[in-house]
């Protein structure tokens, strides 16, 4: 049934609610069977879904979206397949406690246009793993791709034994329908990935919400860093899906003593160092009315150059603007979600960290930051950078796009396509979202006597018969 009106939305929510109540009684074994089947189906569809996402949204690169769909299905499955999410999670006989998992209920899933299929797959799978239902509000520019991804997961889940209405979506999304879904009395949680306006609306809905803040990832390269690895990692990350991942690098801050070497390496590896005139032209199209210009998001470096009215080789990887200001007046200092980078010269390591702090505070507080250094011989720099950066993910010698989403470059960073930014970014959590965030935990606490201790002297004297 097509969902195009408030009445149809209400009917959908009623069906999903009935399905979720039934699913809430499923065992861990039943849930894991459904989780596996859904993940396999999403992985099998990763290529056509990627093609569909690029064709509809006009953003990104098909091959990279294939990888993101693969990550959202196979990697997420392997990471969480053995996690207990149903019934008794743990028992502590010593202290007399039992921890029991319960589903949240019905989740409202907000999906961005930048990652329309991978985010839908990810949210569907972690909802299934936790016995929740989910209803998607897709971005209008990528609604067909998002809803197709959700339908593929749903059909596989049904074939594996799940109730038929466990996943739903809005066919023709609008502000009215999105708001109605977020404020619906039967929605129990909002899982929002999108622009600042949508995330703010989720937190203002009066519902429990998990939203993510904007990213503006600064990268510091100090004089002890492996320059070849640093530049290669940054270019690999920044060109991945044309830079649409919110954890991707936005600015590079380089210590003066190695600035020229880093600059030369970027140019040698396919980046374009813009001259003053070119920098002004590109800077003029990065923002529109003070906000990110949607026309450049997920476009290639050559396309952005064409929009700006300048010429660069067709195979150019990244457009780099050498700038000095770290405030809102500098277009290159903002989040750009495209293969464009700001490059700053710092006097020394301390100055580089100061500049990175300013960039984070200006637009990406709570999200991600990165440092390239000799991590084995500079532990004090790693520690100092970690102390100074107000970001939930502090990556060392790691491509930020792939490193921030977890599991690829650090196996203790939870794999996720929804990255929390904590109170700094106006979010409720400061870690990568996973199944543990979609369950309610009940604690059964048995009575235990509080034993009070007192010390006795070595010898005790008493009167017989007293």
Residue 242 in contact with residue 60, Cβ under 8 Å? Answer: yes
Give, in order, the Cα–Cα distances in Å from 69 to each of 13, 40, 65.
27, 11, 6
Chosen CATH of 217-402 out of 3.40.309.10, 3.40.50.720, 3.30.1280.10, 3.65.10.10: 3.40.309.10
CA distance 326 to 334: 9
Residue 17, classed as helix, strand or coil, is helix
According to the 3-state scheme, what is the secondary structure of 23-87? Answer: HCCCCHHHHHHHHHHHHHHHHHCHHHHHHHHHHHHCCCCHHHHHHHHHHHHHHHHHHHCCCCCCE
Residue 202 in contact with residue 209, Cβ under 8 Å? Answer: yes
Strands 287-288 and 391-396 turn out to be unpaired
| Mean pLDDT for the chain overall | 95
Domain ranges within the chain, ordered by starting residue: 6-212+433-445, 217-402
What is the pTM for the complete model shown?
A: 0.93
Active site residue 246: yes
Token output for 94 = 């010593």
CA distance 216 to 230: 18
CA distance 151 to 63: 22
- Per residue in 37-83, pLDDT tens? 999 999 999 999 999 999 999 999 999 999 999 999 999 999 999 99
CA atoms within 13 A on the CB side of 226: 11
Q: 128-144 burial, b if ≥16 CB within 10 A, otherwise e?
A: bbbbbbbbbbbbebbbb
pLDDT of 466 > 70? The answer is no
Using a 10 angstrom Cβ sphere, with 0-12 exposed, 13-18 middle and 19 or more buried, the burial of residue 270 is middle
Residue 240 in contact with residue 249, Cβ under 8 Å? Answer: no
- Per residue in 408-459, pLDDT tens? 998 889 999 999 999 998 888 999 999 999 999 999 999 887 777 777 788 8
User: Looking at 108, 246, 370, 421, which residue is catalytic?
Assistant: 246
- Per residue in 211-268, pLDDT tens? 887 899 999 999 999 999 999 999 999 999 999 999 999 999 999 999 999 999 999 9
Average pLDDT of the residues in 304-312: 97
pLDDT of 304 > 70? The answer is yes
Enter the CATH code of domain 6-212+433-445: 3.40.605.10
Angle at 234 between CA 231 and CA 410, to 5 degrees: 115
Query: Looking at per-residue confidence, does 104 or 448 come out higher?
Result: 104
DSSP 415: P
């Amino acid at each position: 049934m097509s969902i195009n009106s408030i009445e149809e939305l209400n009917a959908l929510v009623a069906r999903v609610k009935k399905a979720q109540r039934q699913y809430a009684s499923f065992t861990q074994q039943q849930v894991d069977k459904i989780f596996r089947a859904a993940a396999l189906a999403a992985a099998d569809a990763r290529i056509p879904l990627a093609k569909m996402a690029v064709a509809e949204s006009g953003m990104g690169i098909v091959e990279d979206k294939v990888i993101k769909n693969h990550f959202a299905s196979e990697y997420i499955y392997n990471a969480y397949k053995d996690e207990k999410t149903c019934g008794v999670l743990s028992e502590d006989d010593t202290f007399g406690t039992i921890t029991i998992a319960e589903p949240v209920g019905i989740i409202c899933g907000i999906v961005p246009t930048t990652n329309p299929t991978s985010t839908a797959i990810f949210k569907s799978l972690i909802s299934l793993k936790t016995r929740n239902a989910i209803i998607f509000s897709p971005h209008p520019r990528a609604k067909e791709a998002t809803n197709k991804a959700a339908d593929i997961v749903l059909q596989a889940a049904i074939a594996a034994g799940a109730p038929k209405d466990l996943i739903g979506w809005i066919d023709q999304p609008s502000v009215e329908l999105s708001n109605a879904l977020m404020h619906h009395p039967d929605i129990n949680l909002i899982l929002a990935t999108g622009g600042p306006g949508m995330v703010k609306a989720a937190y203002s809905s009066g519902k429990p919400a998990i939203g993510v803040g904007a990213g503006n990832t600064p990268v510091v390269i100090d004089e002890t860093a492996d320059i070849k690895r640093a530049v290669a990692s940054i270019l690999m990350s920044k060109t991945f899906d044309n830079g649409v991942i919110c954890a991707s690098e936005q600015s590079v801050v380089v210590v003066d003593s190695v600035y020229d070497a880093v600059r030369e390496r970027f140019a040698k590896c396919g980046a374009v160092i813009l001259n003053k005139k070119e920098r002004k032209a590109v800077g003029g199209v990065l923002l529109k009315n003070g906000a990110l210009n949607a026309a450049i998001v997920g476009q290639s470096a050559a396309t952005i150059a064409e929009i700006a009215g300048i010429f660069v080789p067709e195979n150019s990887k990244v457009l780099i603007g050498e700038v000095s200001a770290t405030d809102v007046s500098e277009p290159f200092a903002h989040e750009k979600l495209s293969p464009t980078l700001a490059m700053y010269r710092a006097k020394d390591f301390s100055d580089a960290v100061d500049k990175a702090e300013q960039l984070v505070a200006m637009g990406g507080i709570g999200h991600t930051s990165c440092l390239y250094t000799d991590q084995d011989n500079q532990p004090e720099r790693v520690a100092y950078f970690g102390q100074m950066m107000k970001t939930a993910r502090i990556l060392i010698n790691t491509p930020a796009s792939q490193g921030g989403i977890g599991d690829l470059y650090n196996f203790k960073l939870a794999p996720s396509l929804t990255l929390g930014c904590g109170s700094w970014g106006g979010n409720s959590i400061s870690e990568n979202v996973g199944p543990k965030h979609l369950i309610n935990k009940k604690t059964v606490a048995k009575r235990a006597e509080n034993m009070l201790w007192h010390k006795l002297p070595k010898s005790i004297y008493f009167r017989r018969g007293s």
